Amino acid sequence: MQLSLLQQCSAWTLFLLLMLIVQRENMTSAMKVKMLNVSYHSPVGDMLNQAIMSSQYMNRRISELSTHFNRFYASGRGFNNKITRCHTSSLSRPENKEQAQNTESEVLLKLAHGLLQSWVNPLHHLWVEMGDKLGYTPPYLTKALEIKTINRNLLGAMKKITSKANFALEENVDAPAWSELASLQSTNRNIRYFAFYNLFHCLGRDSNDVEMYLKLLKCRMVQSNC
């Protein structure tokens, strides 16, 4: 039985409509995949991932040097009962992770940058004085040099992340002054050793905070589900 012209037109129209619906669904799916890929592999996401990995590596190196120093130089001297003073204590920052979670992303970025900047000078002298005043051998001096280098590289990464995230980062901001070089070079062994102990303590604390800030930033800016 042949279909009338009207019936043929209606069937053809229905077929076209179905084809358009299928094409639209395919295009929508493709757009969703593309959007997910862009989000996952965004420049900010890649830079944050790299910065976090670098920060974690630096923290491992700091822990290794600090553990070695405490074992062979600070053991039995009662340094853990003394009050440690960090030159970065003047920086206003969250006291714990809970407060950091309630701090704006731009503020966290600036804090991370400020802490890294504050350690440029101390890390240079740590690397120099470990060999001169403690007699550290090349394998350990290499770790100190790695820490110094990573800190510099992270500073550059912070500037790039800040730019990509459209945040403002003040240039030429004075970092908290570090004034413990004379103590690191002291001829008095107890004064010298405690200066190194204090430096490792403060460096570990600040570097851990930088890693925490970076992880929080990634959670907010990339994952968007925290």
Q: Is residue 4 part of a domain?
A: no
Residue 120, CB half-sphere, CA atoms under 13 Å: how many? Answer: 14
Residue 91 has phi, psi (to 5 degrees) of: -75, 130
Q: Which residues of the chain have pLDDT under 70?
A: 1-41, 170-173, 223-226
CA angle 100, 174, 62 (to 5 degrees): 55
Q: Is residue 183 part of a domain?
A: yes
For residue range 102-119, list pLDDT tens digits in order.
999 999 999 999 999 999
- Look up the domain containing 116 and give its range: 41-75+89-223
Known binding residues for Zn(2+): 211
Q: Is residue 171 part of a domain?
A: yes
Q: Is residue 178 part of a domain?
A: yes
The answer to pTM > 0.85 is no
> How many structural domains is the chain composed of?
1
Q: Is residue 107 part of a domain?
A: yes
pLDDT at residue 195, rounded to an integer: 97
Query: What are the tokens at 125?
Result: 């002298």
pLDDT at residue 165, rounded to an integer: 78
Q: Can you tell me the distance from the alpha carbon of 99 to that of 121, in angstroms, rounded to the nearest whole number?
A: 29
Q: Is residue 27 part of a domain?
A: no
Whole-number CA gyration radius for the chain: 28
> Using CB atoms within 10 A of its CB, is residue 80 exposed (0-12), middle (13-18) or buried (19+)?
exposed
What secondary structure does DSSP assign to 83-108, as a single string? PP--GGGGS---SSHHHHHTS-HHHH
Known binding residues: 211
Q: How many CB atoms lie within 10 A of CB 109?
A: 22
CATH number of the domain where residue 206 is located: 1.20.1250.10
Q: Is residue 209 part of a domain?
A: yes
Question: Considering only CA atoms, which of 165, 166, 198, 167 is closest in space to residue 181?
Answer: 198
Residue 178 has phi, psi (to 5 degrees) of: -105, 125
pLDDT at residue 26, rounded to an integer: 42
pLDDT at residue 44, rounded to an integer: 83
Q: Can you tell me the distance from the alpha carbon of 157 to that of 17, in angstroms, rounded to the nearest whole number?
A: 51
Q: Is residue 193 part of a domain?
A: yes
